[in-house]
A and B are shown apart, each in its own frame.
Chain A
Amino acid sequence: MEAQKIFELMAQKCGDAVFGFTAEGTKDPYFKVKPERWLEVARLLRDTPELDFDFLNVLTGVDWIKQNVMQVVYHFYSYRHKHQCVVKIDLDRAKPQVASVESIWKAANWNEREQYDLLGIEFLGHPDLRRILMPDDWVGHPVRKDYKEAAEYRGMPTTRPSPMDLLAAYDKANVKPEDST
Chain B
Amino acid sequence: MSELIFAYDSGEEMTLNMGPQHPSTHGVIRFIVKTDGEIMSEAEPDVGYLHRSIENIAEKCTYEGFMPYTDRVDYVAAMTANHAWAAAVEKLADLAVPPRAEYLRMITDELGRISSHCIALGAMAMDIGAITPFPYALREREYCNDLFEELCGARLTFNYHRIGGVGWDMTDAWRDKALRFCDHFEPVVDEFDRLITHNEIFIKRLANLAVISGDEAKSYGLVGPNLRASGIDFDVRRDHPYSMYTKTKFEVPVGRGRMGTVGDSWDRFWVRVEEWRQSVRIVRQCLEQIQDTPKGEFWNKPKRLKPKGDALARIEAARGEMACYVVGDGGTNAYRARFRTGSFNAMGIIRLKSRGLMVADLVALIASLDIVAPEIDR
Given A60-B336, A73-B325, check contact A133 B48 (CB 8 Å). yes
Interface 0/1 of A73-90, CB less than 8 Å to B: 101000100100010000
**A6 interface hit (Cβ, 8 Å):** no
Q: How far is the CA of A114 from the CA of B377 in the complex (A)?
A: 10
A28 at the B interface (CB under 8 A): yes
User: In this assembly, does B123 line the interface, its C-beta being within 8 Å of a C-beta of chain A?
Assistant: no
Interface size of B by CB at 8 A reads 36
Cβ-defined partner of A107 (8 Å) among B55, B221, B310, B323: B221
Closest to A117 in B: B48
Question: Chain A CB within 10 Å — which of B240, B311, B312, B377 has the most?
Answer: B312
Q: Does A23 contact B (CB under 8 A)?
A: no
Q: How far is the CB of A134 from chain B (nearest CB, A)?
A: 7
Give residues of chain B (200-219) contacting chain A, Cβ–Cβ below 8 Å.
216, 218-219
User: What does the 1/0 interface line of A95-110 toward B look like (CB < 8 Å)?
Assistant: 0000000000111011
B309 A27 Cβ-Cβ under 8 A: yes
B323 — which chain A residues lie within 8 A by C-beta?
57-58, 75
Instruction: From A26, A57, A60, A110, give the contact of B321 (CB < 8 A).
Output: A57
Is residue B247 contacting chain A, with contact meaning CB distance below 8 A? Answer: no
**Count of inter-chain pairs, beta carbons less than 8 A:** 85
| Separation of A74 and B3 alpha carbons in the complex (Å) | 41
Please name the residue on chain A nearest to B236 by beta carbon.
A77
Contacts of A109 in B (CB 8 A): 348
Residues of B within 8 A of A57 (CB): 221, 314, 321, 323, 340
Contact B219–A28 (Cβ < 8 Å): no
Q: Which residues of A contact B345 (CB under 8 A)?
A: 107, 110-111
What per-residue 1/0 map shows which CB atoms of B331-368 lie under 8 Å from chain A?
A: 00001101010001101110000000000000000000
Q: Which residues of A contact B327 (CB under 8 A)?
A: 62
Interface size on A, residues (CB 8 A): 32
Contacts of B234 in A (CB 8 A): 79
- A27-B310, A79-B234, A110-B344 known; A56+B48 contact, CB < 8 A: no
* Given A62-B336, A75-B323, A109-B348, residue A28 in contact with residue B221 (CB < 8 A): no
Contacts of B232 in A (CB 8 A): 79
Starting from the known contacts A57-B314, A131-B48, A132-B47, 14 additional A-B residue pairs (CB-CB under 8 Å) come to A27-B312, A28-B312, A57-B323, A60-B336, A105-B219, A106-B216, A106-B220, A106-B348, A107-B221, A111-B221, A111-B344, A132-B48, A133-B51, A143-B336
Mark B residues whose CB is within 8 Å of A: 47-48, 51, 53, 55-56, 91-92, 216, 218-221, 232, 234, 239-240, 309-312, 314, 321, 323, 325, 327, 335-336, 338, 340, 344-345, 347-349, 377
